[in-house]
Structure 1
Amino acid sequence: MPSVLLVSSNGAGMGHLTRLLAYARRMPEGTRRHVLSLSQAVPVVGQEGISWEYLPSQGASGLRAASWRQLFAERVGEVLDRLDPDVLVFDGTHPYSGLDVALAAHPRTRAVWSRRGMWKQDRNEPQLEKAAWFDAVLEPGDLSAAADRGATAAVADGEVARVAPVTLVDPGDLQDRAAARQALGLPGDGPLALVSLGAGNINSTDDEVGAAAVALRERGIGVCVTAPDIADRAYTGDVHLVRHFPLSEHFAAFDYAVAAAGYNSFHESLRLGLPTLFVPNTRTSLDDQGARAEHAAHAGWAMSTPTLTGGLAGPLVDELVRRGSELAARARDADPGNGAAAAAAHILDVAGGAP
């Protein structure tokens, strides 16, 4: 069976690592898989029965850029020496200098660049030249691809293998409502909403998280958050800390979601039928969450707003309660299916070309 080394960059969340696990889950039994990740969340890989190791990012290491690049090249080279994989898969939008050095020193190992689209316009274009480091480029699709104005959208189909949007979890993997709530330690009765907007202050309506929480609680909807510091600041009402990976397996526990529009959270919410109000994070350096969320709203799959502050949260939550189920049903009808299996097959096809 082939051997695969999965390398994830250090993004703002767990998107890169989760996408690699989506591929790994759909590889045939017996495929040797190993993860090398710059994400401090990498221990979750062990839950999948996959071996892993951690490589600190430049920021976590405290090293200067040049020193870290040398460390990165040496560490990747050591892993390639030790494992001799048929294929290396790097998921990220910025292949690190040093990866090319390590790959050039190990010509038997093929390489695939897994690269999502929806880059902000006129951003990151020089990175496309790094496709030359790889034997293939794989692009997990985006339900909002029609609104993509970034550099990757202009790349010809013959230069990249495009698959349907990728999620770790499929609709058939969802636990039912009662089991999901029990697994997360949530009340069995009453409506609940998942608020996934990153860091915030739940006690201030001048903050996106706080505005969402207040509006939901005023309408008798319990608030569920994933950040312990947010839950610890709660002083009234139903605020629950939910911790599980992958949380999307338990989406049936929630009646609604108020979420940012990063690749994973966006596609999980739409594909898994969770009525969602997106509040895109427009401060990202590259990911065009605004365009992604606006397209979903125009398509009638979800709601989108640039902010919940200034008194907007209440009416928007009312609309989510009123229209959420209808929007979620439209999103499910538009779902082209999960591209993870096709991506895994493509990766193994590339691996098959290793001498």
Structure 2
Amino acid sequence: MRAVRPPAKPAPLRVLNYAVNGLGLGHLTRLIAINRQIRRLAALLGIPTEILFLTSNEGDALAYQHGFASFKIPSKSALVACGLDPVRHRKISKQWVWNAINLISPDLLIVDTFPMGGFGELFDVLDLGSKNVFIYRAVRPQAALAPAFQSALRGYHLLLKPEEQHENDSPVPQGLEERVATTREILIRSVAETLPRAAAREMLGIPPDASAAVYVSVGGGGDREAEALFATVVEAARRMPSTAFCVGAGALYRGREFPAPNVTWTRRPVMMECFRAFDAALSAGGYNTVNELMHCGVPCVFLPQARTHDDQERRVARCIRAGAGVLLGERTPAAMEAALNGLLEPEVQRRASEAASRFVPGNDALSAASEILSLTVDRLLVEDAALLADPALLFSALEDVANETGEADFLAVAHQVWNLVGGANDEDGAAAITEATCRCLRESEKLGVSRGRLLGALRRSAKTILAAAQAASAPENDPDKTFVPPSPERLIGEALRTLAESADGEVVVLPPVIAPAGVSAVPGRLSPSLVAGAFEQNGEPGQ
């Protein structure tokens, strides 16, 4: 008997993210937010991925916290600290980026904020065969209109513009308008993925008897004035002893942590997960922190910072006009105390919190990921998988099976179910697939079935159904048979039944039932009407 060669493992989709030259954590955070969703969508589509980051950010551990690998060069802050000659640093960095992109040879290259690269080096690598994506968040006109900036935009296949309050008027060269796609705010978490108020307060150690809780952030912590600003904030906190203050120092902060009885310091990598613990915040005006706080309904006392590309003053002004916060006047302890006390008045706080939630009602990281993935995968498939990756639906499902499985296992099973029924097609279909997946994981846990056996059973079931569909095209079959696709629940029920009936540890797969004629299979994917007769013939399957 001739040996059968196992099918080759599909090559992974290689995604390379470029987050170089940022002062804070914003560029890296935004790219991680998008790539979390790319990874989820790809898993639901059955596409293996290799997602990597090139960064100069000293907070690159954030990528590792999310299961991504990163390659790092020294930041400009580290350059000053270690005395590295700027010209030598630039020379090394440019060559490093060129070599990395050539060796990794990505299918997708995603760049945030600096289209020509932090050293002008990307001009030489945008024509190496990758699909290039530029995350074009709102940039100050004097930076965006620079000839080099506008020229670099021509090297990108997709210009993804995250809008804030439906605004992002950053200019695009004439003739490139068809490459532009817009989204709303892109965040590292959706509010559905964050901890409830009580759990978040317990996690942060906020005393139950605190009259209010205030979060403090001055960005990533890399600014020279960060230490002096934190000292002023702690002095203001001492004036408000019944209010608990939590200072998010930022991954880049290297200064002192000033003590006070009602002040705690934290360097949690994803602080947004705990934002519902707070009644108000004292915050700079950066893209990520402001929009994350707004999305979680936390009104702010704002102290915007000067940036060459990011217009923090404009962002803060929009929030204030919406009633979601106030601008700090003088940066003194007395001014901070007065502004916070005013914002924490119960009725004022309630209205401002509601305004903040309305200001950023959702997280569009999934939409951004869908646009990007559609450069290499059929858009209809991506949009269908996105129904299953909806954060509220997915996070609720993961909570349901939290003790039994992780996200990767859940997505692997969901992919098999999705493929069996030919897609979600709408929100109801996505909910049905999600519930069926949860049931499958719960019941297989009771049976003591490993994830490998469970996935094997589902794959074999898929092959059985495909065989039935192929047999359906035979001319001897009745062309008048109605082809009704099975529900996810019924498919899962059959897979679980075969596992339960397996006495010797091997997966038992029921023989195919001949489906009616007139059904055509789409290679690599089942259409919504493909699986009918395999389960809806005469009696129960296999009888």
Residues 164 and 336 of structure 1 are in contact (CA less than 8 Å); yes or no, is this contact kept in structure 2?
no
Matched, 1:85 2:96: no
Structure 1 residues 154 and 290, CA gap change in structure 2 (3 angstroms): farther
User: 2:214 aligns to what?
Assistant: 193
User: 1:122 aligns to what?
Assistant: 142
Residues 153 and 172 of structure 2 are in contact (CA less than 8 Å); yes or no, is this contact kept in structure 1?
no
Alignment length (residue pairs): 341
Among candidates 263, 266, 272, match of residue 242 of structure 1: 266
For 1:35 and 1:13, the matched residues in 2 are separated by: 16
- Give the aligned residue type for 1:332: S
Query: What do the CA deviations read for 1:240-267 (whole angstroms, capped 9, x no partner)?
Result: 0112111010112222210001000110
Residues 323 and 355 of structure 2 are in contact (CA less than 8 Å); yes or no, is this contact kept in structure 1?
yes
For 1:210 and 1:277, the matched residues in 2 are separated by: 17
Aligned 1:93-112 pairs, distance under 5 A: 93=114, 95-96=116-117, 97-104=120-127, 106=128, 108-112=129-133
Question: More relative contact order in 1 or in 2 (CA 8 Å, sep 6+)?
Answer: 1
- Give the aligned residue type for 1:43: A
SS in 2 for 1:257: strand
Q: TM-score, normalised by structure 1?
A: 0.85
Residues 111 and 135 of structure 1 are in contact (CA less than 8 Å); yes or no, is this contact kept in structure 2?
yes
Aligned 1:1-355 pairs, distance under 5 A: 1-27=12-38, 28=41, 29=43, 30-57=48-75, 60-61=78-79, 62-65=84-87, 67-93=88-114, 95-96=116-117, 97-104=120-127, 106=128, 108-117=129-138, 119-126=139-146, 127-143=149-165, 145=167, 151=171, 158-190=178-210, 191-197=212-218, 198=221, 208-219=229-240, 220-227=242-249, 232-234=257-259, 236-281=260-305, 283-309=306-332, 311-322=334-345, 323-352=348-377
How far did 1:183 drift?
A: 2.7
For 1:333 and 1:155, the matched residues in 2 are separated by: 35
How far did 1:168 drift?
A: 0.5
Residues 14 and 39 of structure 1 are in contact (CA less than 8 Å); yes or no, is this contact kept in structure 2?
yes
Moved more, 308-317 or 173-182: 308-317
For 2:173 and 2:246, the matched residues in 1 are separated by: 36
- Give the aligned residue type for 2:160: L
Extract unaligned runs of 5+ from structure 2: 1-11, 379-543
- Give the aligned residue type for 2:52: H
Structure 1 residues 177 and 56, CA gap change in structure 2 (3 angstroms): same
For 1:154 and 1:12, the matched residues in 2 are separated by: 31
- Give the aligned residue type for 2:62: V
Moved more, 12-21 or 131-140: 131-140
Moved more, 153-162 or 9-18: 153-162
- Give the aligned residue type for 2:32: L
For 1:20 and 1:259, the matched residues in 2 are separated by: 22
CA RMSD of aligned residues (A): 2.9
SS in 1 for 2:268: coil
- Give the aligned residue type for 2:181: A
Residues 258 and 278 of structure 1 are in contact (CA less than 8 Å); yes or no, is this contact kept in structure 2?
yes
Query: What do the CA deviations read for 1:187-241 (whole angstroms, capped 9, x no partner)?
Result: 3441221111256588xxxx6544444444423212211237666333x431101
- Give the aligned residue type for 2:70: W
Residues 166 and 340 of structure 1 are in contact (CA less than 8 Å); yes or no, is this contact kept in structure 2?
yes
Structure 1 residues 16 and 153, CA gap change in structure 2 (3 angstroms): farther
For 2:175 and 2:354, the matched residues in 1 are separated by: 32
Moved more, 19-28 or 210-219: 210-219
Query: What do the CA deviations read for 1:92-136 (whole angstroms, capped 9, x no partner)?
Result: 2353211121333x2x2121111210x334344211221022222
Residues 278 and 304 of structure 1 are in contact (CA less than 8 Å); yes or no, is this contact kept in structure 2?
yes
How far did 1:21 drift?
A: 0.5
For 1:33 and 1:166, the matched residues in 2 are separated by: 19
For 2:175 and 2:353, the matched residues in 1 are separated by: 31
How far did 1:292 drift?
A: 1.0
SS in 1 for 2:182: strand
For 2:57 and 2:214, the matched residues in 1 are separated by: 27
- Point out the structure with max Rg over C-alpha: 2
For 2:30 and 2:302, the matched residues in 1 are separated by: 21
Q: TM-score, normalised by structure 2?
A: 0.57
Moved more, 259-268 or 319-328: 319-328
Residues 277 and 303 of structure 1 are in contact (CA less than 8 Å); yes or no, is this contact kept in structure 2?
yes
Identity %: 25
- Give the aligned residue type for 2:351: E
Query: What do the CA deviations read for 1:8-51 (whole angstroms, capped 9, x no partner)?
Result: 12312110000001111111223321111111111221121112
How far did 1:297 drift?
A: 0.6
Structure 1 residues 216 and 70, CA gap change in structure 2 (3 angstroms): closer
SS in 2 for 1:46: helix
For 1:155 and 1:59, the matched residues in 2 are separated by: 38
